[in-house]
């Protein structure tokens, strides 16, 4: 089972931490005015037409292109050559938020099978919350992620990218910080900032499942964006918001393997060996460990890790905490 990260970001999860588009995937181009919309895309040229009143304020337009640069032509006149910008977590959150607002104004006819469907929904709800179904969701998410985002996704997932230069944990060690969207947002942001400050690819935040269920992806994208924004006051609709370089995965099997029944919780595992590094580290049929240590409570992450260090005698944790700026 592939591990899910954000910025998902779900498509999220962080070298350029909030860019999730690769060459040949959807993106944005600059336009000379907000009234300009895409008429058509032909080879390396994007043709724009003007709709409504033009104010002179620069805008952006959504396109799909296999190129990193395109020529922009406005109603037959060449404007300039411009870059195709990758989609960002705020872009996704904004687009989905706008879609939700449009949906609120739509009128949907009543369902004459409502009673029958309500009964069936109860059965489906039980299956949805099972680990079996959550595992299938994560596998499908990984398939979509690899097909749509390509190599860019490695920047979002600590276990997919290259080892960070200042990583102190060995390849067989992990630190999992278990969180929930039910926790105070300020507390989760503090943990995300600590994970980013530690700067180790084997330290990550872990959620049990998607926010508000898998039927809507926007709540999860919005949650990850709000958690990983470096500046909580940044407004995505006003421009790009810088994101923290922190890995975030959704994996119910990790919760079950380490018997996490309350959050926040921090687990240090060592001696980890995986048959398939692309599958869940919470699946005992895929991975083995020689031991693990856990700490609970709403406390500073570095403090909790120091308590685990004292109990485990881990030299790697000592080195991780000794990096300037990590000891609190």
Q: Token digits for 297?
A: 């409570």
Average pLDDT for residues 244-257, to the nearest whole number?
90
**pLDDT of 255 over the 90 cut:** yes
Give DSSP secondary structure letters for 50-75: E-S---S--EEEEEE-S-SEEEEEET
- Cα–Cα distance for residue pair 288/305, rounded to 1 Å: 22
The DSSP bridge partners found for residue 319 are none
Q: Could you tell me if 201 and 163 are in contact, meaning their C-beta atoms sit under 8 angstroms apart?
A: yes
pLDDT(22) > 60 = no
150: DSSP letter: G
- For 297-320, the pLDDT digits (tens) are 989 999 999 999 999 999 999 999
- Looking at residue 23, what is its pLDDT? 40
Residue 327's pLDDT is 56
Asked if residue 221 lies in contact with residue 8, where contact means CB atoms within 8 angstroms, the answer is yes
Average pLDDT over residues 125-154: 62
Would you tell me how many other CB atoms lie within 10 Å of the CB of residue 139?
15
The pTM is what? 0.54
Which residues lie closer than 8 Å to 68 by C-beta, 6 or more apart?
A: 23, 83, 84
Range 321-328 average pLDDT: 67
Which pLDDT score, from 0 to 100, does residue 279 have? 84
Q: What is the mean pLDDT of residues 21-41?
A: 78
Question: How many Cα atoms sit within 13 Å of 23 on the Cβ side?
Answer: 6
* Alpha-carbon gap, residue 295 to 208, rounded angstroms: 18
Q: Which of 85-99, 143-157, 166-180, 270-284 has the lowest mean pLDDT?
A: 143-157
Q: How confident is the model at residue 53 (pLDDT cuts 50, 70, 90)?
A: confident
What percent of the chain stands above pLDDT 70?
Answer: 72
pLDDT at 157 over 50: no
């Amino acid at each position: 089972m592939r591990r899910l990260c954000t910025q998902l970001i779900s498509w999220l999860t962080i070298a350029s931490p909030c860019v999730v588009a690769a060459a040949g995937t959807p993106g944005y181009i600059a336009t000379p005015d907000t009234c300009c919309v895409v008429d058509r895309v032909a080879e390396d040229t994007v043709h724009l037409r003007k709709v409504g009143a033009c104010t002179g304020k620069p805008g952006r337009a959504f396109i799909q292109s296999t190129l990193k640069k395109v020529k922009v032509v406005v109603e037959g006149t060449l404007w300039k050559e411009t870059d195709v910008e990758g989609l960002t977590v705020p872009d996704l959150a904004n687009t989905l938020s706008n879609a939700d607002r449009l949906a609120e104004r739509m009128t949907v006819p009543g369902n004459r099978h409502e009673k029958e469907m309500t009964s069936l929904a109860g059965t489906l709800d039980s299956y949805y919350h099972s680990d079996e179904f959550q595992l299938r969701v994560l596998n499908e998410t990984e398939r979509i992620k690899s097909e749509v985002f390509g190599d860019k996704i490695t920047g979002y997932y600590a276990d997919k990218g290259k080892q960070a230069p200042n990583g102190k944990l060995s390849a067989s060690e992990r630190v999992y910080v278990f969180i929930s969207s039910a926790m105070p947002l300020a507390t989760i942001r503090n943990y995300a900032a600590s994970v980013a400050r530690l700067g180790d690819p084997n330290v990550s935040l872990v959620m049990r499942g998607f926010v508000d269920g898998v039927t809507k992806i926007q709540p999860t994208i919005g949650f990850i964006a709000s958690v990983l924004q470096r500046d909580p006051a940044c407004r995505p609709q006003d421009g790009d918001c810088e994101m923290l370089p922190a890995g975030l995965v959704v994996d119910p099997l990790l919760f079950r393997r380490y018997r996490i029944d309350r959050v926040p919780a921090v687990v240090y595992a060592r001696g980890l060996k995986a048959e398939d590094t692309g599958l869940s580290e919470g699946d005992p049929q895929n991975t083995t460990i020689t031991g693990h240590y856990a700490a609970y409570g709403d406390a500073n992450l570095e403090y909790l890790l120091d308590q685990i260090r004292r109990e485990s005698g881990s030299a790697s944790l000592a080195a991780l905490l000794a990096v300037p700026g990590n000891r609190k």
